Amino acid sequence: SRDIARESGLPLYIHLGQLWPTADGAGVPDADALVRELVDLMAEGDVLAHPFTRHPGGFISTETGELHPVIRRALDRGVKVDVGHGSHFSFEMARRVMGAGILPDTLGADLHGYNVRAPQARMDDGARAANPFHGVAPFSLTVAMTELLALGMALPDVVATVTSNAAALLGLSDEIGSLQVGREADVSVIEPLTGRFRLTD
């Protein structure tokens, strides 16, 4: 994947978090060892996803309960961070990671067929319940933005994660991501509301 990314001029995007048993029957890989091995492959402009994952193998070490030193080194050399919200998102992990001074560059909602509504056909009850994406997703992109606000990110920084930062990540800053003459207009109008709202991870 790294070689393909380099040859195509695109960033390498690595998904951290949910781990499954290996095909050779050796079981689930050691989460911390895997993070160390993968992150060392990354260069400036590559992307680490799921910093706030509830699963082992994210930004927080299962060995120490602290931020992986390898993550800090990666960010220092220009690796970017995408929330990749999905069914991984954990407020506890988000507080730890953001408390270590790490804010996401982009906010991918990671909405897909399995976490919007779990597949019902061809699955017995046990397999359906074991599906890590089981159930209906309690979020959308605007809810994910609200969660970042609730965690203390400033509104302009949250908006940048879904506009200008996303465009820059794709190398399209001169075409999209901000409202300027000569750029493609893609406008969402939202109204910030003040009140008490329940957010669920």
User: Which pLDDT score, from 0 to 100, does residue 59 have?
Assistant: 93
User: Which pLDDT score, from 0 to 100, does residue 47 have?
Assistant: 96
Structure tokens at 90: 């954990």
Rounded to whole angstroms, the Cα distance separating 55 from 76 reads 24
pTM over cut 0.75: yes
Rounded to whole angstroms, the Cα distance separating 98 from 77 reads 19
Residue 128's identity, in one-letter code, is: R
What are the per-10-residue average pLDDT scores of the chain (201 residues)? 92 85 78 90 94 90 91 95 88 95 93 61 62 62 92 96 94 92 89 89 83
User: Which pLDDT score, from 0 to 100, does residue 6 have?
Assistant: 92
Q: What would the 3-class secondary structure string for 40-74 be?
A: CCCCCCCEEECCCECCCCCCECCCCCCECHHHHHH
User: Which pLDDT score, from 0 to 100, does residue 48 have?
Assistant: 94
